[in-house]
Amino acid sequence: MKPDDGGPPARAPRLTIPAFSLPPMLAGIASRLPQWQHAMALVAALNAAKRLRVLPADSLALLEGRTFLVEVEDAGAHAWFTYRQGWFRPLFGTPADADLALRARLSAYVQLLARQEDPDTLFFKRELSIEGDTELGLVVKNMLDAVEWPSLPGQRPGR
């Protein structure tokens, strides 16, 4: 075992998430299940990110009263939600239209969360579809770009 030389801690190798698709059979089964659970989980995560100040507060006001759809194509899952009175809220049922719809495979969303890919790259590689209000799409894209995940214990900032 090498003694600690007082230098910066060694970094674990970064995990690379490959592009993948879930089996079509999974999407077929999952699409027949109630979808409200996806909206509840996504809204809980978004509200937690808001409370932790991970999401830029100045951009959140621009989401007020807007309707969103996030669809995970290869999982047969979708989540409808809105942002009202300072909180993300699930929408039960299927509204006629979303102000903004994001569609991608699960791997693209995981790559976004891991900061492995940015929304522009996924969009131009046709792995992320953004439909609806163009201005709102830019606000959400810029929010995703501005997200700074808190450092985990043992990691140095900026890594």
Provide mean pLDDT across the span 141-146.
Answer: 84
Q: Is pLDDT at 2 greater than 70 in this prediction?
A: no
Tell whether the model's pLDDT for residue 39 goes beyond 90.
yes
pLDDT digits (tens, 9 = 90+) for 55-112: 888 899 999 999 999 999 999 999 999 999 999 999 987 778 899 999 999 999 999 9
Name the band, by pLDDT with cuts 50, 70 and 90, for residue 155: very low
Question: Domains in the chain, start-ordered, CATH in brackets?
Answer: 24-146 (3.30.1050.10)
Residue 13 has what pLDDT? Answer: 57
Q: What is the reported pTM?
A: 0.81
No. of helices (H) and no. of strands (E), the chain: 6, 5
Residue 34's pLDDT band (cuts 50, 70, 90): confident
Residue 156: which H helix or E strand, with range? Answer: none
d(CA 136, CA 159): 30
Give me the phi and psi of 84, to 5 degrees please: -140, 135
The answer to whether the beta carbons of residues 18 and 63 sit under 8 Å apart is no
Q: What is the pLDDT of residue 26?
A: 86
**Which residue is associated with the tokens 């900032």?**
157
Confidence of residue 45 (pLDDT cuts 50, 70, 90): very high
Question: How high is the pLDDT of residue 11?
Answer: 57
* Mean model confidence pLDDT for the chain: 86
In 3-136, where do the E strands start and end?
A: 67-72, 77-84, 87-90, 100-104, 128-132
